[in-house]
Structure 1
Amino acid sequence: MDVTLAYGETRLSVDLPEGTTVVEPSFHPGAPDQAAYLREVLATPVSGPRLRDRVRPGQTVAISMCDSTRPQPRHLMLPAILEELEGLVDPSDVTVLVATGTHRGNTEAEIRAMVGDELADLLRIVNHDARDRDSLTWVGELGAGVPVWLNTLWVEADVRITTGFVEPHFFAGFSGGPKLVAPGLAALETVLTLHDAARIGDPRATWGVIEGNPVHDDVRAIAAATDVTFAFDVILNRDHEIVRAFCGDILPMHEAAREAAREIAMREVDAPFDVVVTTNSGYPLDQNLYQAVKGMSAAFTVVKPGGTIICAAECRDGFPDHGSYREVLASAGSPQELFDDISARTETVPDQWQVQIQAKIQSQVEVVMHTSFLSDEQLAEAHLRQTDDIGATVREICERIGPDARVCVLPEGPQTIPYVAATVGA
């Protein structure tokens, strides 16, 4: 059977055995007039007054938005906000903060691609830098002992607005909402604590779980304690079109958004599989191996112990080369050694969060990659192997297992999160 996988900016066709279980999001068409739909949503918040009723003339505004690794429709969301604030706030008093977390800052060209030339020329757009202490303000110890430093431009603004999109997240439960404050605009020290080995190693730090998830419990606590004025999130389909949008007070807004995302993105299956083929949702999420851990993690939820995950991710940005991710991956003789080493540490560096999860997966199942920009030798450094033909590799594994081999494919990767039993929390 022919299945089309999300891959880079195009798609990848693979021939899989008949009877393969295909798990993908229920498709919802985008709103016919995306801009008009966003204006309607801003007029009817989930909770609290509309944005223009929360702002006084002359106030300064900071808007947090996702970085270039996320397909947020910033070019539609930002104009909707500016229109809502027309007559109250001058564009010169608006600062847009790219919520990079610990990622690299976006280039001028990337920012223009994200928001368009008109907005790039109109607005002050600043990359958050988690490592620049001079650009951060101490706001206190919040949640379960998290030392919180946030971007000073955010803290000092009169009005603080988060914008993002909501989908299941592999250890924070769901993206969007309060994550646009921390880790998005937080200091390295803050993020290291939020994502330490104890928190992300907790079994409740997983797809779709919010309450009792030690990562998201603290993320929500930080947002609640630091006076977010207004929050605005969307849910996207596989074509990155807006299918739903939500706004208002940040925590009630995010609760409504994640329930809608759960309905669209999470799918129950009857039993685990011997082979799970997955992707990393195509560009921009599959631009490096670091991000591809999300696709592996989605597959890991339904693969048998000792089974095989085959992950198709273009990886045009390599490992990537910035940061210590590649170095850490190559620092031990096996995935199990890596996992044990990182789990034993009380402090880690950002790249090790992803390595810890990747090492946990690789120590329990075989992971095979299909990429266009990483060589066999480079993948071997990460204890991975490559296949040029996904369908042939699946058939080889099935022949080895026998006629009862079970195969699953996630064409959209972590846009769909399968689970074996109805144990996903709220």
Structure 2
Amino acid sequence: MWTKLLFGRGELSIEVPDDAAILQPRDVPATDDEERAVKEALRRPIGTPGLRRMVGAADTVAIVISDITRPTPNHKLVPWILEELAHVPPENFTIINGTGTHRDQTREEFVGMLGADVADRVKVINHHCQEPSELTKVGRSAFDCDVYLNKAYVEADFRIVTGFIEPHFFAGFSGGCKGIMPGIAGLETIMTFHDARMIGHPLATWGNLDGNPLQEMAREVNLMCKPEFLLNVTLNGKKEITGVFAGELFEAHARGCEFTREHAMARCASRFDVVVTSNSGYPLDQNLYQAVKGMSAAMKIVKRGGTILCVSECSDGVPDHGNYAKILQMADTPAQLLAMIEAPGFRMLDQWQVQKQAVVQSWADVFVHSTLPDETVRRAMLTPVADPSAALRELKAKYGEAMSVAVLPQGPLTIPFVDEA
């Protein structure tokens, strides 16, 4: 049979065995009126007064948004926030693009992310985690590092964080505290948040908040300079808003995570020989670095020694910023990469993504269908695939006619798991 996976801004059709298991979040329709749903949440939030009542006309306001690698509908949320706070002059706002360690967005990208009207009227800045003059120390973490946050955020009279809640491969869920930590944190703080011990912790995994050290550190950092208001949304496969969670940071985010968990979990009776996954399409599948998330989701249900076939457009390349590609060249096998990263004293930007990838590759073979040159994929220790349908047919020679196959059309938007008990 033929099935479709999210790929870039569209879909990719592939042929899979008729008995393949198709696993994806339970279909949730978009809200009847997205604008009304968001404004209702701003006026009747969870655990706080209405947003308009909390902000004075003379207040300076920082709005933290997620960067271009996330499908947060900032072009809707930010204008609706500004309308709700129309009593505050435009010059009092600063929109901070929470890049974490990612690249800056361009003026044209900001127009696409926020709309021309917002980009023209309101100050919009990229967060720079390695620029000391743009950071402020707010405390010392119990995880043994100083905590630096974006200076414009810290100095604002009122702080708002927006975001999108989805399953996350080591933080459990995105959104909430992650908008601030690591979104607008300093590099020293981010490196501790992503060190080998944190990433390798058994509770740092999909859909889990309890005992997750990354969530614990994110919560600790947020409490040092807490945003007064959260606006998070959930989306379906069409990137339509399905739920709105606004108000007090922790309570509103917890409600959103429960909503996401309820719809994203996919139980399997056993593991599969082959798992085909997308990386949930644009914008998450812009580069190979982000594609590790789709691979990690597939690992949850593939047999040891099995095969993962990841479909990710990678229109933005590997990417060419950071150390992801460089680290991949520092060893000859995934096992060697893991040993190197986990060794005392090793510390490099992007090591966390390589660590997660190496864990996946130590468990299963990983094939990648993308728009990248084959040699680029091979340099990442991955196997390039031109035709996913043909690759599946060829894998029958390895696994036999009874080859078991699962498909994750929406990739890491699904939390697949095996009830191995």
The corresponding residue for 2:282 is: 283
Q: Which moved more, 1:17-26 or 1:28-37?
A: 28-37
Q: After superposition, what is the alpha-carbon deviation per residue over 1:269-303, rounded to whole angstroms, capped at 9, x for unaligned?
A: 11111100001111111111000000000000101
Q: CA deviation at 1:143?
A: 4.1
Q: CA deviation at 1:263?
A: 1.1
Q: Distance in 1 between matches of 2:259 and 2:150?
A: 30
For 2:117, the aligned partner's letter is: E
Q: After superposition, what is the alpha-carbon deviation per residue over 1:34-83, rounded to whole angstroms, capped at 9, x for unaligned?
A: 11221111111121211122222201000000000111111111122112
1:395 aligns with 2:393: yes
Q: Which moved more, 1:15-24 or 1:27-36?
A: 27-36
Q: Distance in 2 between matches of 1:175 and 1:158?
A: 25
What number of residue pairs does the alignment pair up? 421
Q: Distance in 1 between matches of 2:336 and 2:403?
A: 30
The corresponding residue for 1:226 is: 225
CA contact (8 A) 2:25 2:265 kept: yes
TM-aligned CA distance change 1:378 to 1:227, over 3 Å: closer
Q: CA deviation at 1:135?
A: 0.4
Q: CA deviation at 1:359?
A: 1.0
1:286 counterpart SS class: helix
Could you say what the CA RMSD is over the residues aligned between the two structures, in angstroms? 1.3
Q: Distance in 2 between matches of 1:117 and 1:349?
A: 37
The corresponding residue for 2:23 is: 23
Q: Which moved more, 1:10-19 or 1:341-350?
A: 341-350
The corresponding residue for 1:152 is: 151
Q: CA deviation at 1:422?
A: 8.6
1:308 aligns with 2:307: yes
CA contact (8 A) 1:62 1:159 kept: yes
Q: CA deviation at 1:400?
A: 2.4
The corresponding residue for 1:209 is: 208
Q: Distance in 2 between matches of 1:82 and 1:354?
A: 35
The corresponding residue for 2:404 is: 406
CA contact (8 A) 2:171 2:208 kept: yes
CA contact (8 A) 1:143 1:217 kept: no
Q: Distance in 1 between matches of 2:346 and 2:162?
A: 30
The corresponding residue for 2:63 is: 63
The corresponding residue for 1:135 is: 134
1:333 aligns with 2:312: no
Q: Distance in 1 between matches of 2:4 and 2:299?
A: 20
The corresponding residue for 2:321 is: 322
After TM superposition, what 4+ stretches of structure 1 lie above 4 angstroms from structure 2? none
Q: Distance in 1 between matches of 2:119 and 2:346?
A: 38
For 1:160, the aligned partner's letter is: R
Q: Distance in 2 between matches of 1:15 and 1:354?
A: 30
2:286 counterpart SS class: coil
Q: Any gaps of 5 or more consecutive residues in structure 1?
A: none
The corresponding residue for 1:90 is: 89
Q: Distance in 2 between matches of 1:143 and 1:55?
A: 32
CA contact (8 A) 2:340 2:346 kept: no
For 2:196, the aligned partner's letter is: A
Taking the TM superposition and a 5 Å limit, the aligned residue runs for 1:257-296 are 257-296=256-295
1:420 aligns with 2:399: no
Q: Distance in 2 between matches of 1:231 and 1:392?
A: 46
Q: Distance in 1 between matches of 2:158 and 2:134?
A: 18
Q: CA deviation at 1:345?
A: 3.8
Q: Distance in 2 between matches of 1:369 and 1:200?
A: 23
Q: Distance in 2 between matches of 1:328 and 1:250?
A: 35
Q: Distance in 2 between matches of 1:331 and 1:304?
A: 28
| TM-score, normalised relative to structure 1 | 0.96
The corresponding residue for 2:32 is: 32
Q: Distance in 2 between matches of 1:77 and 1:381?
A: 39
Q: Distance in 2 between matches of 1:222 and 1:60?
A: 22
For 2:336, the aligned partner's letter is: E
Q: After superposition, what is the alpha-carbon deviation per residue over 1:111-130, rounded to whole angstroms, capped at 9, x for unaligned?
A: 11001101100110000000
CA contact (8 A) 1:310 1:368 kept: yes
1:77 aligns with 2:77: yes
Q: Which moved more, 1:37-46 or 1:153-162?
A: 37-46
For 2:32, the aligned partner's letter is: P
For 1:62, the aligned partner's letter is: A
Q: Percent identity?
A: 45
TM-aligned CA distance change 1:312 to 1:127, over 3 Å: same
Q: Distance in 1 between matches of 2:45 and 2:419?
A: 34
Q: Any gaps of 5 or more consecutive residues in structure 2?
A: none
